[in-house]
């Protein structure tokens, strides 16, 4: 049985962890230190009562770890305790492969909130969206769980099913059954839409910068002098490694500050600057963001916006502007502790405000309106002829892009890919607006140069 001597030993051990905080000096610290001793004695008393009188026997390790989890989780949604397994999982995630559903989550009003689903993962395929609230896991209510407990329940072996109860906006909760899988993240994907290069960054892990450089080189080789600009898609990107966010920003910047961090201590105040050299040679750039763009995504969008390097299009980002430092605890795991805030080059804090787009464009479904064929000048009786030779831009003299072999398998494949890209732009209104914006900018610039 745990006695007062045991409580005293526990308190003494805890005090030994942070002697600097309890050291007395001549500056009036004695009273503050005495209060700290009293609070730690209170903890020891509670620990003793729970250990001795709780209805079931609980190990000392569980009690202490639970106390640590509670202490950290009460600070903010992103500070937490990682046991050995959690710490290992976190390290695997930053390397780009891990097990689970494929969602980035946080805690909001006692419920698990989806920051964003990761592309091509079980959660994304099941229709989970940024902003969804998970209110139940396999029939168990989430209210009352810590974030770590909820995440632990969502983990499991590959191929096993989990049923989430989801609340979306003001609608009634509904259930979604998802099959767990090993999540292998391709952090950067790319394609072209006509003469516009499209780069999608899904997360910021160790593979992101090499992947970005490879995709930009590929697009540049494919389009050559026809390249009109790039769309950098950061929608539903939950963030990741700070160093990768800095590196991605540096890819498009030639100089200047990328981000600064400011904390409680001067040692937490740091500024990160771009190195000389823009990999895209200043090509026009549009950055797409939405409410699922968080943390590292916001650093990139904020840096490119503040430097006037890109136009930011979409909706306001998530607003996670805090820095978490991972502090290993030898033999136990680690703690994730919020130690600073992020600031954009203009000095604006991202925290709780996010990045506001230059052009606010909500995702929408666009349908053509059929008004019928209207009469034109050429339809009027006695209308004057155009007066120019040929039939103009749309005349019969227009070149046939498909050439003589338009019926070949290669041409049919090209037509099918073109149709798929057209359908993609029809379905993704924000992307369509971004591509049109780039084409409009380059067209305008070329005409200004001609004149």
- Residues 137-151: pLDDT tens digits? 999 999 999 887 898
Does residue 28 carry a pLDDT above 60? no
Structure tokens at 147: 């974030």
Report the pLDDT value the prediction gives residue 93, as an integer from 0 to 100: 67
pTM above 0.85, yes or no: no
- Residues 181-209: pLDDT tens digits? 987 778 999 999 999 999 999 999 999 99
Backbone angles phi, psi at 235, to 5 degrees: -65, 140
Report the pLDDT value the prediction gives residue 451, as an integer from 0 to 100: 67
Alpha-carbon distance of 245 to 267, in angstroms, equals 21
Does residue 2 carry a pLDDT above 50? no
Does residue 388 carry a pLDDT above 90? no
Does residue 53 carry a pLDDT above 50? yes
Helix intervals (H) in 205-345: 208-223, 242-252, 296-306
- Residues 242-279: pLDDT tens digits? 999 999 999 999 999 999 999 998 887 999 999 999 99
- Give me the sign of the Cα torsion angle 384, 387, 392, 395: positive
Report the pLDDT value the prediction gives residue 96, as an integer from 0 to 100: 61
Q: Any idea which residues carry the catalytic annotation? A: 295, 306, 320
Does residue 401 carry a pLDDT above 50? no
E-assigned strand segments in 41-173: 80-83, 97-100, 103-108, 111-117, 133-137, 140-141, 161-167
For strands 161-167 and 140-141, give the pairing. Answer: unpaired
Per the CB < 8 A criterion, the answer to whether 212 and 177 are in contact is: no
* Arithmetic mean of pLDDT, 159-163: 93
- Residues 78-114: pLDDT tens digits? 999 999 888 887 776 666 666 689 998 888 889 999 9
Report the pLDDT value the prediction gives residue 396, as an integer from 0 to 100: 42
Least confident interval from 282-296, 362-376, 423-437? 362-376
Q: How high is the mean pLDDT of the chain?
A: 87
- Residues 215-228: pLDDT tens digits? 999 999 999 999 99
Q: How confident is the model at residue 414 (pLDDT cuts 50, 70, 90)?
A: confident
Instruction: Decide which of 340 and 8 is more confident.
Output: 340
Structure tokens at 95: 């390397």
Least confident interval from 83-87, 122-126, 207-211, 285-289? 83-87
- DSSP state string for 148-182: HHHHHHH---TT-EEEEEEE-TTSPPEEEEEE-EE
Beta-bridge partner residues of 285: 230
E-assigned strand segments in 296-426: 311-314, 322-329, 333-343, 359-360
């Amino acid at each position: 049985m745990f006695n007062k001597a045991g409580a005293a030993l526990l308190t003494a051990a805890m005090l030994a962890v942070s002697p600097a905080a309890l050291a007395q000096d001549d500056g009036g610290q004695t009273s503050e230190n005495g209060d700290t001793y009293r609070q730690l004695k209170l903890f020891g008393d509670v620990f003793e009562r729970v250990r001795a009188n709780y209805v079931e026997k609980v190990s000392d390790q569980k009690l202490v770890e639970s106390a640590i989890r509670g202490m950290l989780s009460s600070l903010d949604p992103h500070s937490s305790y990682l046991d050995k397994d959690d710490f290992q999982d976190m390290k695997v995630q930053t390397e780009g492969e891990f097990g689970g559903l494929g969602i980035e989550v946080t805690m909001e009003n006692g419920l698990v909130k989806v920051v964003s689903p990761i592309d091509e993962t079980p959660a994304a395929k099941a229709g989970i969206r940024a902003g969804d609230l998970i209110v139940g896991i396999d029939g168990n209510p989430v209210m009352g769980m810590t974030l770590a407990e909820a995440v632990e329940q969502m983990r499991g072996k590959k191929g096993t099913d989990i049923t989430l109860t989801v609340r979306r906006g003001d609608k009634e909760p509904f259930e979604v059954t998802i099959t767990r899988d090993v999540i292998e993240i391709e952090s950067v994907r790319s394609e072209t839409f006509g003469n516009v290069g499209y780069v999608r960054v899904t997360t910021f892990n160790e593979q992101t910068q090499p992947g970005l450089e490879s995709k930009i080189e590929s697009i540049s080789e494919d389009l050559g002098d026809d390249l009109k600009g790039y769309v950098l898609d950061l929608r539903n990107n939950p963030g990741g490694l700070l160093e990768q966010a800095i590196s991605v920003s540096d890819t498009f910047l030639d100089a200047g500050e990328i981000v600064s961090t400011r904390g409680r201590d001067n040692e937490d105040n740091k500024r990160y600057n771009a190195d000389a050299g823009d990999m895209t040679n200043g090509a026009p750039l549009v950055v797409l963001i939405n409410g699922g763009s968080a943390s590292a995504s916001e650093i990139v969008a904020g840096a490119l916006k503040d430097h006037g390097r890109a136009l930011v299009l979409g909706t306001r980002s998530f607003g996670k502007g805090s820095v978490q430092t991972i502090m290993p605890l030898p033999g136990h795991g680690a703690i994730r502790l919020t130690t600073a805030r992020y600031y954009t080059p203009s000095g604006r804090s991202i925290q709780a405000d996010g990045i506001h787009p230059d052009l606010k464009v909500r995702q929408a479904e666009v349908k053509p309106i059929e008004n019928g064929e209207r009469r034109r000048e050429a339809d009027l009786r006695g209308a004057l002829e155009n007066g120019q030779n040929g039939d103009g831009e749309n005349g019969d003299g227009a070149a046939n892009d498909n050439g003589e072999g338009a019926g070949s398998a290669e041409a049919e494949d090209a037509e099918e890919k073109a149709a798929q890209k057209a359908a993609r732009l029809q379905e993704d209104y924000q992307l369509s607006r971004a591509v049109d914006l780039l084409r409009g900018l380059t067209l305008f610039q070329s005409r200004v140069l001609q004149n």
